[in-house]
A and B are shown apart, each in its own frame.
Chain A
Amino acid sequence: MKQKRRTGLCAVLAAVTAVGVMSGCSTQTKKATEDGIVEISIGGWPEQDANVSYARYENWLTRYNELYPNVKVEKDNWSYSYDTFLAKAASNMLPSVYTTFFTEIKKIQSAGYAADITKQVENYHYLENLNEDLISICRNDGKFYTIPKSAYALCLVANKSLFKEIGQVDENGYAILPQTIEELTETAVKIKEKTGKIGFIMPTMQKQGGWIFSNLAWEFGVQFIKQEGDSYAAAFDSQEMRDALQWLYDMKWKHKVLGDNAFVDANEVIKQFGSGNGAMFVGQPTEGKIKTMIHGYQFNKDNLVLGQVPGGPGGRYSLIGGDVWVLNNNLNEEQKNAVFDWINLIGSGPELNDDSLDSIDSYYKDLNQLGSVVGYKGLEIWKSGPICDAYDEARKKYCNVDASNFREYDTFDNTTLRSEEPVHCQDLYDVLDSLVQEVLSNPNVDISSIISNAADNFQRNFLDK
């Protein structure tokens, strides 16, 4: 009897454990269509404790359910991140739609995780309304795999209170921003001498260093890649590149206006600037970053100034960036349409109606209530017309800062907007990261030699393959 009981117990335990093991092997797939119901999931859904944003999303959902009763929307809190994306994609657990950055488009697309949405882009009138510069970023071989959600051009972000301390303000108290690389150096030196703060914050890690440096190098006239027939060649073993790196070297070792730490990622940039320890950086004024500065580091939003990236001997350029919508590659046409209807409803599409106008209004209203910055437009994703007017109107209505602090950034006068390099731009940023790190960590660096090696390595490791 005892033996039988023991045997039974063993069998139950074994079965339970085996079921437990096997249950981990299932994959989650979104049902395409069942009984006429279309199921989609929306990524980046705010957490319930996100107060205002959560309520806004819930209101959108209520309205969407009224308009499209055949669509079942699932909320998904996941937002794009490097660490989690591949695992989510491999286990087929990506939401139907999510947003990512311009820099990720090619990676996701070439990994085969983005749906072809060419048909929807045409049917939902994106082509007629999108800013031409952005169409080329989202289109690949005549097909669309992403659509823009928001856009920006890299800019010079400055702390007005430090400019006031060094007396670099006009008669109305607005910061006089440097317009050239030389002026940037001079201003940074003044900041360092008079306030002891970091004059210029330069990222160096996680391809952020390469990304920002590529824009700065354009000001010196650097050409990174040139096309030779069907192939590409590394073109940055040049005097312009030596000048650009020499400028960075001087900022660090001669003028001593950069921070002591040579391992600076995007978060560290925001930390140094937001906590008032740095006066300027070249970066992107995204909502998330500004929110972190204000709420994470108590940065006074009235001190935030945005200007254009200073120009140099090679011209004045600004790299375009932003967020795009990506649709999961396993969606059918009905699901893709349902996602596009959602995007329209929340005011991110080209269609203007009462619902989308309400959404645009509620977006800026929430930003205002959250104490974030409302008052600059940056780069519009739409061609000028009624959509841009609607955004302008809502922005003016909820503006909570002195818009004059952003006047330079909003006009882009004298600045040429540029897209990333055509091929291997992520690999290029990686190579440039290393160059920036070497220059900022080694006072005895041989700049010519490291540029030659980097260009040679970039050619052999990426362009020749």
Chain B
Amino acid sequence: MSKIKVKSLDAAKGVLIKDGNTGTYKGELFRCIKSTVKHSWSGWLLLIPFFFLMIFLLWKPLIMGIYWSFFEMKGYVVGEFCGLKNYITVMSDTAFLQTLGNCIKYVIWSLIIGYMIPVVLSIVFNELVHLNKFITFSIYFPSLVPGMAVALLWYYVFFPNMTGLLNQMLSIFNIAPKTWLQNSDWTIMLIVLTATWEGFGKTTLFYMANLQSINQELFEAAMLDGAGILHRVKYVTMPYLYPTMLLFFVNQCKGLFCMFEKPWVMTGGGPNGASMTLALKSYYYAFNDFRVGESLAVGVITFVILLTLTFVYKYIEKRNSYEL
């Protein structure tokens, strides 16, 4: 994809230079833009409201959030410029490193628990001849349940006494009830499990759609060459899934890094900060303590970390597209 883009750009450049008999390169560029707008101006006109929408709903809050994070905030009233004070306050908080570490733990647990499940399931389901539609619906079903409801549902599954579903099941085997979410060593892992249950169906469907677009002749050719199922997966399926896997890898890292609703509903960030995330911390700063400056600073820190991750993804994607 990127390769094609590069070629088109070169071609466009060539046209501009060759056709530019009188004007400069800049003049030609302007003429080219003018011509594009003139030929499809109604389309551009329709885009204008959405351009404003994008500015007001996406860019303005983002830019203002970054800008205000350098100011003393009284509620949402901007006070004096305070430089990095909000950042220093947030980062010198003794719980900051724990919270940052928790975010990384969320990501690691999500990669361990949830990353490969959709890939494996999509490959298995893709091989199925019967019950395809039923299985597709069954795995997609949890994704239809609202996130808050999922969190509440699993909160009661993990309830620490005998009213908790898991503890009831354990009691059948005479196993003593566990504290589940209240055990600080388990809490992040269990929250990630909840998020995986909710999201794996949707991801599996993406992978299945990808698999169904693979040319069947490739599989047939591989079989003629004597490739078994594992070799077919390794040499035919995986190379096709790789770009999607990379995309979901980054998406999963980003999504889990700023996990909010599950810990908010299930543990409130506890016990003793063991499941606190940067997003939840930002929420607490803003809405519990009315410390908007600090909340924005946490938001910007999270944004920078995720932006870095996105750049890494773009770099890997670009490198791989050249290799393909």
Contacts and interface: CB of A to CB of B under 8 A. Distances in A.
Interface residues of A, number: 51
A275 interface: no
A20 B292 CA distance: 29
Contacts of A442: 184, 271
Contacts of A260: 159-161, 177, 179
Given A13-B46, A434-B270, A259 B289 contact: no
B271 A441 contact: yes
A7 B42 contact: yes
Q: Which of A11, A262, A433 has the most CB of B within 10 A?
A: A262
B179 A14 contact: no
B174 interface: no
B50 to A, nearest CB: 7
A222 B48 CA distance: 63
Given A10-B42, A21-B56, A441 B179 contact: yes
Contacts of A112: 74-75, 77
B167 to A, nearest CB: 9
Contact of A21 (B49, B74, B287): B49
A461 B42 contact: no
Interface string A444-460: 00000010000011001
Interface stretch (B89-97, B108-116, B196-204): B89-97
Contacts of B42: 6-7, 10
Interface residues of B, number: 39
A111 B75 contact: yes
A465 B89 contact: yes
A110 B292 contact: no
Contacts of A17: 49-50, 53
Contacts of B25: none
A295 to B, nearest CB: 22
B46 A21 contact: no
Interface in A2-53: 6-7, 10-11, 13-14, 17-18, 20-22, 24-25
A86 B290 contact: yes
A10 B46 contact: yes
Nearest to B267: A263
18 contacts: A10-B45, A10-B46, A18-B49, A21-B53, A21-B56, A82-B287, A85-B287, A90-B76, A111-B77, A112-B75, A205-B268, A260-B161, A261-B159, A262-B160, A262-B270, A263-B182, A263-B268, A460-B92
Given A14-B45, A441-B184, 12 more contacts: A10-B45, A17-B50, A82-B288, A86-B287, A89-B76, A206-B288, A260-B177, A262-B182, A263-B181, A437-B270, A456-B94, A461-B93
